[in-house]
Amino acid sequence: MTAKSPIPRVVVCGGGVAGVEALLALRGLLDGDVETHLVAANSQFVYQPLAVAAPFGLAETHLSDLADIARDAGASLHVDSLVRVDADDRSIQLASGTVLPYDALIIAVGARRRDWLKGALHFGGAANVRAFGTVLDRFEKGMAKRLCFVYPETIGWPLPLYELALLTASRLADRGVTGAELTIVTPEANPLAVFGPSASRMLRELLATRGIALETGAHAEGIEDGTLHLRERPALQVDHVVTLAWLEGPALPGLPADAAGFIAVDEHSGIIGLEDVYAAGDGTSFPVKQGGVASQQADAAAEAIAARIGATGTPSPFRPTLRAMLLTGIAPIYLRAQVAGETGDSFELAANPLWWPPSKVAGRYLAPYLAGRSPLTRSEVLEDRPPSREDPLKLRRRHDEARELALTFAERDAAQRDFESALHWLDVLERIDGVLPPGFLHKRAIWQSHAHEES
Ligand SMILES: Cc1cc2nc3c(=O)[nH]c(=O)nc-3n(C[C@H](O)[C@H](O)[C@H](O)COP(=O)(O)OP(=O)(O)OC[C@H]3O[C@@H](n4cnc5c(N)ncnc54)[C@H](O)[C@@H]3O)c2cc1C
C-alpha cells in the first residue's frame, strides 16, 4: 500500500451492519494509526432484525445516529452516496460530486431488494412493519383465515420468515383467535437447514406445536385470485401471503460483479482483481446474507488492512460462523454453525446464549458496542460461550425466574418514580428475551418521558 496521505486513509462505504462493524474493528485494531472516513447514504444506522417483533408490539427497530457512531470510532462522516470507484486513481466519486482519495477502501453498501411475488407483502424490515400490522389486524378481527409465509428461491437468510410465523401464531393464540391457518412454504429441504439436522428437527416440532403447516422443497410461482401456485404441487388457497425480498448485488461502476451484481471476494475480503479494495456484507457473493456474516467479512477486511500497513501480524481469514437468535414468541433459541458454503459442518443449539453479549446481529465489535454504547477498548469484543449442560426444563425455569425478577424490579422502581432504574431493568429484560413482554414497549415510552422530565 502506498499511502496517499501522511497517515493512511481508509474509506468505508455503507452505513449498515458491515460498514459500522468495519469502522469499529478499524478503531479496535488501529486506534489512531489511520484516518478513517465513512460514506453513508443514510444518516442513521437501522438495526433491522428487531423489525420482525415490531408488528406485535414486542420491540422497536433501533436507530442510531451515524454521526455518534463515527465520532466514537474516530471517523469522519460523509452523508453521501458512492457512485463510482476509480481503482487506478485510488479514489471514489460520490453523488455530490466529491472525489475522495483512499489508501484502502471497504465497500459495504449491502444488496438491492426486489419484490418478486406479485400480490404478496414483501417484508424487508422497519419500512414494512405497519403493512404487516394491517395483515395481522385482519386475522385478529376474523376478516382473514389463511396466511402463507413464502421463502424466495434465492440466496439469503430465512430466519425472519420463521420468526414472523412463530410470533403470529403466538399472538393469535394469546388473543384467543381460532381457525387461522398458517403455512410456511420454503424451497429448503428442511427448515433452517443451514443450522443442521438438530435445528431443523427442533423447528419442525416448534412449528407443529404452534399449528403452523410446513411445505418444504416447495417453490412458489405466483398468486392469482386467492390461490398460491406452487411448482409441481397442489396450489394453496390463501388470504394473504408474506415473503422476503429477492436480493441483487450492488453492481457499482468500477467494481467487478457476477451476473447478479454481487462482488466476489477472497478469504481476506479483498475484491478479486483489485488492490487494497475490500468488500463485506450482503453485497458480496457469499451465499448467506446475514448480519453476523457481514460483520465477520468486515473484520477480515479490517485485519487485512491493519496487516498491510504493518500495524498487526498475519490477518485471520474469513471462516464463517453462523450465529442466530431465533425469536419464538416465548424464550429465544440460540443456534451456531461453522459453515463451509451453504450448509454447516458443526452445529450447536441451546436455550442459553451461545455468545456474549446476546444479540440478534453477532458482530465482534458491533454487539458489545450497541449493548454498551461506549467508546471501544480492545477487550470489548463478542465472546462465544458453550451450550449449557443443564437440563433444558431447569434452564427454562431459571430463565423465567430471571424475567420475572427483572419485571418485578422494573415495576417497583417505576412505582417509586425511579424511572432511570426501571428503564435499566427493561434493558435487562430485553437482553434476556431479545424482545419485551406485551405492553412494555408502551410502558417504556411513558417511563422514558417521565425520566426525561425529571432529569
Ligand atoms: C427483517 C430482517 C431480519 C433480519 N434478521 C437478522 C438476524 O436476526 N440476524 C442477522 O445476523 N441478520 C439478520 N438480517 C440480515 C441483516 O440485516 C443483513 O444481512 C445485514 O444488514 C447486511 O449488512 P450490510 O452492511 O451488508 O447491508 P445493510 O445493512 O443493508 O447496509 C448497507 C448500507 O449501505 C448504504 N448504501 C447503499 N448504497 C450506498 C451507496 N451507493 N453509497 C453509500 N452508502 C450506500 C445503505 O443505505 C445501508 O445503510 C435480517 C434482515 C432483515 C431484513
pLDDT tens sequence across 428-442:
888 888 899 888 999
- Measured by CA distance, the residue closest to atom 30 of ligand 1 is 110
Of the candidates 238, 289, 4, 10, which has an alpha carbon nearest to the alpha carbon of residue 119? Answer: 238
Q: Is residue 155 scored above 80 in pLDDT?
A: no
Termini Cα distance of the chain: 50
Alpha-carbon distances, residue 330 vs 53, 148, 261, 272 (angstroms): 12, 22, 39, 44
Q: Is residue 372 scored above 90 in pLDDT?
A: no
* Range 359-381 average pLDDT: 78
C-beta of 326 in contact with ligand 1 (< 6 A): no
User: Is the Cβ–Cβ distance between 183 and 213 less than 8 Å?
Assistant: yes
In the reported structure, the alpha carbon of residue 281 is separated from the centroid of ligand 1 by a whole-number distance in angstroms of 8
pLDDT band at 311 (very low <50, low <70, confident <90, very high): confident
Give the pLDDT of residue 375: 45
Q: What is the mean pLDDT of the chain?
A: 93
User: Is the Cβ–Cβ distance between 228 and 220 less than 8 Å?
Assistant: yes
Amino acid at 411: E
Find the range with the poorest average confidence among 29-38, 165-174, 322-331, 342-351. Answer: 342-351
Q: At what angle do helices 291-308 and 17-30 cross, to 10 degrees?
A: 40
In the reported structure, the alpha carbon of residue 294 is separated from the centroid of ligand 1 by a whole-number distance in angstroms of 8
For a ligand 1 pocket test, name from 13, 17, 43, 132 the mutation site with the most ligand atoms within 8 angstroms of its C-beta: 17
Ligand 1, closest atom to CA 94? 42
Quote the CA–CA distance of 405 and 403 in Å, as a whole number. 5
Quote the CA–CA distance of 58 and 53 in Å, as a whole number. 5
Of the candidates 14, 51, 69, 100, which has an alpha carbon nearest to the alpha carbon of residue 373? Answer: 69
Quote the CA–CA distance of 38 and 304 in Å, as a whole number. 18
* Range 89-104 average pLDDT: 98
C-beta of 361 in contact with ligand 1 (< 6 A): yes
Ligand 1, closest atom to CA 252? 41
Each residue's pLDDT tens digit, 198-247:
999 999 999 999 999 999 999 999 999 999 999 999 999 999 999 999 99
pLDDT band at 378 (very low <50, low <70, confident <90, very high): very low
Q: Tell me, what DSSP letter sits at residue 284?
A: B
Give the pLDDT of residue 346: 85
Residue 110, C-beta contacts closer than 8 angstroms, at least 6 positions apart: 14, 16, 18, 250, 281, 282, 283
pLDDT band at 398 (very low <50, low <70, confident <90, very high): confident
Pairing of strands 99-101, 91-94: antiparallel
Each residue's pLDDT tens digit, 261-310:
999 999 999 999 999 999 999 999 999 999 999 999 999 999 999 999 98
pLDDT band at 377 (very low <50, low <70, confident <90, very high): very low
Ligand 1, closest atom to CA 17? 25
Q: Is residue 354 scored above 60 in pLDDT?
A: yes
Ligand 1, closest atom to CA 45? 49
Q: Is residue 24 scored above 80 in pLDDT?
A: yes
Give the pLDDT of residue 331: 85
User: Is the Cβ–Cβ distance between 38 and 77 less than 8 Å?
Assistant: yes
- Measured by CA distance, the residue closest to atom 16 of ligand 1 is 291
In the reported structure, the alpha carbon of residue 313 is separated from the centroid of ligand 1 by a whole-number distance in angstroms of 30
Q: Is residue 153 scored above 60 in pLDDT?
A: yes
In the reported structure, the alpha carbon of residue 251 is separated from the centroid of ligand 1 by a whole-number distance in angstroms of 16
User: Is the Cβ–Cβ distance between 295 and 302 less than 8 Å?
Assistant: no
C-beta of 291 in contact with ligand 1 (< 6 A): yes
Of the candidates 308, 158, 306, 313, which has an alpha carbon nearest to the alpha carbon of residue 245? Answer: 158
Q: Is residue 376 scored above 70 in pLDDT?
A: no
Give the pLDDT of residue 431: 81
In the reported structure, the alpha carbon of residue 320 is separated from the centroid of ligand 1 by a whole-number distance in angstroms of 17
